[in-house]
Structure 1
């Protein structure tokens, strides 16, 4: 197994997805911009016993992110799956955020995912298989979350574009749309959400889904 790469490996979904894939025996590469975040994520995955690599990179730094992805491939091979979980989650109403603020949010929410996918998907396509999963949200846009609503709409379009480009070569591209605040022990428990990522990764190509909505777990 070539392994799983988690970009945005913070507490919540990032760590939960890393643990879920590690439980299946996949080597894990964790990418985050904070050393503290990486240490916590590595400790969370360690009990699985799989090889774990932790790399610092900012999702908006194309050269830095590409270098981290290259190191991941150098250590574990072309990834089986890349999960993009970085996001700027903030409240901002129409007209509140500056142009710079919108550009910074868009860079994390959409462009970072595009850059990561464009860097790894060609090698996946050449191999004939691979999975790229992006954490989505905001199934309905909300005026109190303008930048996030725009960003998650962008994620849906990005998934479609990447599927058109790389899907015919065997690369499964999909998003997991999370419709509420993530917190352990709630309907939006990160461990329950992580199951969607594993299921998408293991789907046969004849049954590929490109967006899964997590609207809450049954109690």
Structure 2
């Protein structure tokens, strides 16, 4: 396999599909991992219908063993992983007076902790110059009291990216693209321009690399 491989965890019909499309347009094989194969396969079929190489797989992102199995399977099948995109987050409408510790830990496991087994499983398959890409959010700095766990997830995963980048460098790098706005169907915070910003963040040369990029629309 000579084509570069892009893998997105937490793929959905919005931003996940848009970013996968942007990388596919650059010649990447796009592997979209959703909650189930039934969720992911239609996304892959959409890209395939546009002339791209794509496949859909399902994975439970709260299960480290399942993550390891899926990522190792993709790496073995394709012989390489060039971009690992971590896109999930958990939305739970509970403020800090009602959010329980088990609920907080469950959400952080999905929205931040799942990145660890994903990178660990992908690392043996990383091609030269491979990148870890993480979808960040303004919630890391301005959390909503109505969904208190989201800000913790995004602050935690941003912090983790800093450590990952330092650990992977110089052969591989990691970046969190912090989206400082509310996702919408149109305008600067719609999926296509955000996907372009994520492509640009990953495509930067090493001499311009930083582990954090802000997208302000």
Query: What TM-score, normalized by structure 2, do the two folds share?
Result: 0.91
**Equivalent residues, number:** 213
Aligned counterparts, 1:29-40, within 5 A: 29-40=31-42
Map 1:55-204 onto structure 2 (within 5 A).
55-124=57-126, 127-137=127-137, 138-142=139-143, 143-168=145-170, 170-204=171-205
The answer (yes or no) to whether the contact 1:53–1:72 under 8 Å persists in 2 is: no
Question: Is the CA contact 1:59–1:112 (under 8 Å) kept in the aligned structure 2?
Answer: yes
Structure 1 segments (4+ residues) deviating >4 Å: none
Q: Aligned partners of 2:202 and 2:178: how far apart in 1?
A: 15
In the TM superposition, residue 206 of structure 1 has moved relative to its aligned partner by 0.6
Query: What is the Cα deviation at residue 139 of structure 1?
Result: 4.5
Residues 23 and 48 in structure 1, CA contact (< 8 A), matched pair in contact too: no
CA–CA separation in structure 1 for the residues paired with 2:151 and 2:63:
23
Alpha-carbon spacing, 1:179–1:40, altered in 2? closer, same or farther (3 Å): farther
1:122 positional shift:
4.5
Rate the CA distance shift 1:27–1:111 in 2: closer, same or farther, 3 A: same
Give secondary structure in 2 for the equivalent of 1:50: coil
Alpha-carbon shift at residue 201 of structure 1 (Å): 1.9
The SS at the match of 2:169 is helix
Q: TM-score, normalised by structure 1?
A: 0.90
Secondary structure in structure 2 of the residue aligned to 1:144: helix
- In 2, distance between residues paired with 1:144 and 1:213? 24
- Unaligned segments of structure 2, at least 5 residues: none
Contact 1:19 1:44 in 2 (8 A): no
| Partner of residue 43, structure 1 | 45
RMSD: 1.6
Residues 16 and 191 in structure 1, CA contact (< 8 A), matched pair in contact too: yes
Structure 1, unmatched stretches of 5+, are none
